[in-house]
A and B are shown apart, each in its own frame.
Chain A
């Protein structure tokens, strides 16, 4: 049931773009995206629901392909503050949000 994330790590220069992918083998009700900085709690970025509803921060965009059970997080014009580990979380219409193994993003000046 654990979603699979790719890539495992990304290194960027400020201003560059990145895409992080998340896939599941089961039909999803929702996909969540969170960012965690070292030593801190995960922070909500985006939720995408079955049926097309989305909610999240303005500067973050993501997609959810319900047929393929895949989601992608798009980080454009990256800033130093984007550095951290990104986790996708998936729910199968139960009250159980399972996180993937994470994608470590490092942005350098």
Chain B
């Protein structure tokens, strides 16, 4: 069964460092998302991406964040200068249509020291 894959599974970084989280969505999907979940809390929307541009973004997704689809398969989330409060699990998700179910990856745990 096709699945969304994310790397790395866990990354530890120092405050102020840049981090890139990578995702390979399901191959025939056209809509891509990043969510984050601080331990024990809700799943928070960060950004949606379609047709090589951002569709929607949340207030969390400030200038420190960016997304990119550098080739036909990868979808990346970059955090330019990490803060302690960026520590969270980051989930990538994709779906085939704009009204369908989301398929989530297993997540990338980011720890900022």
Contacts and interface: CB of A to CB of B under 8 A. Distances in A.
Interface in B16-56: 31, 33, 35, 41-45, 48, 50, 55-56
Interface in A40-54: 40-44, 47, 49
Interface in A65-102: 87, 89, 91, 94-102
A55 interface: yes
Given A95-B98, A99-B43, 16 more contacts: A29-B99, A32-B102, A41-B104, A41-B106, A42-B104, A43-B104, A55-B100, A91-B99, A94-B55, A96-B45, A96-B55, A96-B58, A97-B33, A97-B45, A100-B42, A101-B41
A23 B102 CA distance: 20
A21 interface: no
A24 interface: no
A36 B91 CA distance: 12
B103 A99 contact: no
Contact of B31 (A41, A43, A47, A95): A95
Interface residues of B, number: 24
Nearest to B48: A95
Contacts of B58: 96
A94 B55 CA distance: 8
Contacts of B107: 41
A44 B100 CA distance: 10
Interface string B88-106: 0001000000111111111
A23 to B, nearest CB: 15
Contacts of A29: 99
Nearest to A99: B43
Nearest to B107: A41
A50 to B, nearest CB: 10
